[in-house]
A and B are shown apart, each in its own frame.
Chain A
Amino acid sequence: EADIYQTPRYLVIGTGKKITLECSQTMGHDKMYWYQQDPGMELHLIHYSYGVNSTEKGDLSSESTVSRIRTEHFPLTLESARPSHTSQYLCASSPATGVNQPQHFGDGTRLSIL
């Protein structure tokens, strides 16, 4: 069982609020990722990081931002939440070496913006 944790698991919040979704892993993985997943649809990469102080935008345009100050921590922030941000957000990590390494996923945060 992979040790990657996301909090909160569920969040219902009003429009305009600032939100931070937490993701932590205890495996010492250098690579970390944020995905967005809507029901019945494929996962879309919105952010990734190769290591501390490294962050890149993914394939799906997102108004969120991320930071990577510590290896184990990769939080995602929405400065002003809108109903269009309603979705499930999944965090993942993988070792730095070996492109054939699986990504380990957290259980996600289901976000609902009213």
Chain B
Amino acid sequence: KNQVEQSPQSLIILEGKNCTLQCNYTVSPFSNLRWYKQDTGRGPVSLTIMTFSENTKSNGRYTATLDADTKQSSLHITASQLSDSASYICVVSDRGSTLGRLYFGRGTQLTVWP
């Protein structure tokens, strides 16, 4: 069964600190892995997309890594800011159909305290 599991479910950190969010997946055949940020009451916004051949990709203070062999990804946030408080969603796409079916994790709820 194709699944995407994220950990931790929630996380609280102090402003300025770093943190790492985890994503494990069983989706096969694999096409790409995406990280989205969803602010409360808003739609998800894409942070990174990585294909099989990419093992790291950065977007400002966000750095995603991918290990396609172990089917694991992480999202590292550096020097956190209050505006980083949001849900971070891991999404994996398969290449078994023209649609490129997306499998969504339940997200990690990050809270940054001042």
Contacts and interface: CB of A to CB of B under 8 A. Distances in A.
A and B associate in one complex: yes
Given A99-B32, A99-B93, A105 B44 contact: yes
A92 interface: yes
Interface residues of B, number: 23
Interface string B71-91: 000000000000000000100
B34 A102 contact: yes
A48 interface: yes
Interface in A47-103: 48, 59, 90, 92, 99-100, 102-103
Does more than half of chain A's interface fall in helix, strand or loop, or is it mixed?
loop
Interface of A: 2, 4, 40-45, 48, 59, 90, 92, 99-100, 102-108, 110
Interface of B: 4, 31-32, 34, 41-46, 49, 51, 89, 93, 95, 99-102, 104-107
